[in-house]
Amino acid sequence: MDDWIDYYDSTHTIYVSRLHRDVHFQTIARDIVGYISSKDSVVLDYACGEALSAETVADACGRLILAEPAPGVRGRLVARFAPNTKIRVRALEDLRHMDDKSVDLAVMNSVIQYMTPDEFDAAITTIRRLLKPAGRLVLGDVLQPNVGMAGDVTALLRFAAKHGFVKDAVLGLVRTALSDYRQLRTRIGLQRYSEADMLAWLIAAGFTATRAPANIGHNPSRMTFVARHAFERSRNAGAPGAGAPNKSIETDST
């Protein structure tokens, strides 16, 4: 994950324009708000990135914790949201010092594709400790093995057409093809999971989980999963039997 952290801490070209960047974060914030069950909820956004619309999420909950590994991004988050008393910015390491069972909703959106399996295991172990008994973990923007970069391009162009930045999107795709992002994606690849593998992995980690009807964000070819503590679900509705996950992971080398 370190190479990707360095990339996102640099001046990158992942957004084709300011409008693209703004509507991207607005869309994600709106979708996260849909998972907040109470105005008193404590929400953790794990590896949150720039989180430009975090105040929208904070308005819908009691406290929002933005946990971000990239030091440059984290510094900008601190400066941007310092006046908002409902938002706290933390490094990922700081989560080790948080109280058990202190979070109502944890979100990892567009994160796990950049993690090694061991990093992902460590992250969900930490989150499981932090979640309250009735808390939820939402994993968004999970890449599927059978959907490559062409699917991402199609989703971006449709998103651009909806929000009026098609010309910038086309030019941005050309820039991205020649950029460090493209080179890094080719060299390292992105982690991909089938629906069955992701559900099995979460069960093995002590959760029950389902795939959400819609993905967080603009890309419908990617997946979002909602997970709860297995013992809480079993108490209310009966949990499915757990089994060892088949960690079938494919990297993107296109």
Determine contact, residues 141/215, Cβ cutoff 8 Å: yes
Given this model, what pLDDT does residue 7 score?
Answer: 67
Q: Which residue has the higher pLDDT, 170 or 249?
A: 170
Q: Residue 35 in 3-state DSSP?
A: coil
For residue 213, with 0-12 CB atoms within 10 Å meaning exposed, 13-18 middle and 19 or more buried, which class applies?
A: exposed
Given this model, what pLDDT does residue 203 score?
Answer: 96
Given this model, what pLDDT does residue 9 score?
Answer: 76
Span 164-204, pLDDT tens digits: 999 999 988 887 765 666 566 666 678 999 999 999 999 99
Q: Which residue has the higher pLDDT, 109 or 13?
A: 109
CA–chain centroid gap for 221, Å, is: 15
Span 107-148, pLDDT tens digits: 999 999 999 999 999 999 999 999 999 999 999 999 999 887
Neighbours of 178 (CB within 10 A): 10
- Quick one: pLDDT band at residue 247, thresholds 50, 70, 90? very low
* CATH among 3.40.640.10, 3.40.50.150, 3.30.465.10, 3.30.1240.10 for 2-235: 3.40.50.150
Given this model, what pLDDT does residue 185 score?
Answer: 61
CA–chain centroid gap for 166, Å, is: 25
| pLDDT for residue 103 is more than 70 | yes
Mean pLDDT of the region 41-51: 97
Mean residue pLDDT of the chain comes to 87
Given this model, what pLDDT does residue 5 score?
Answer: 77
Question: Residue holding tokens 């999970």?
Answer: 142
Q: Specify whether the backbone of 206 is left (phi greater than 0), alpha (psi in -120 to 50) or beta.
A: left
- Quick one: pLDDT band at residue 152, thresholds 50, 70, 90? confident
Percent of the chain residues past pLDDT 90, beyond the cut: 72
Cα first-last separation, the chain: 19
